[in-house]
Amino acid sequence: MSAAIAPYIDRIIDLIINPLVQLMFFAAFLVFAWGILVMILNAADETKRSEGKKHMMYGIVGMLIMIGAFGIFALLKSTVLGIA
C-alpha cells in the first residue's frame, strides 16, 4: 500500500472505527448486565431467569466479537499498513 495513504487509513481506524467498536462493546456489556439484573430480580420465575440467561449469553457473544474486531484492526494496522 502506498505510504501516502497509510496515515489516512490509520486516522480513520483511530477516529472512527475504534470508537464505534468500543461503543458496540459497551452496548454488549449493557446487555450482559441487564441479563444479570433480570436473572437476580426474578429468581423465582423460571421463564424470566431463562430470559436473563439468554441476555447474558448474547452479551458475552457480542463482547467476544468486539474483542475480535479490535484484534483484526490491530492486525490490519501492523501488517498491511506497517503501523505499530
What does 19-61 look like in DSSP terms, one character per residue? HHHHHHHHHHHHHHHHHHHHHHHTTT-HHHHHHHHHHHHHHHH
Tell how far CA 33 is from the center of its chain: 14
- Give domain status of residue 84, yes or no: no
- Give domain status of residue 47, yes or no: yes
Domain that holds residue 51: 6-79
Mean pLDDT by 10 residues, the chain (84 residues): 75 91 97 96 93 97 96 85 67
Query: What is this structure's pTM?
Result: 0.84
Q: Count of residues for the chain?
A: 84
- Give domain status of residue 1, yes or no: no
pLDDT of residue 7: 82
The CA angle 31-36-41, to the nearest 5 degrees, is 125
CB 79 within 8 A of CB 66: no
Domain count, the chain: 1
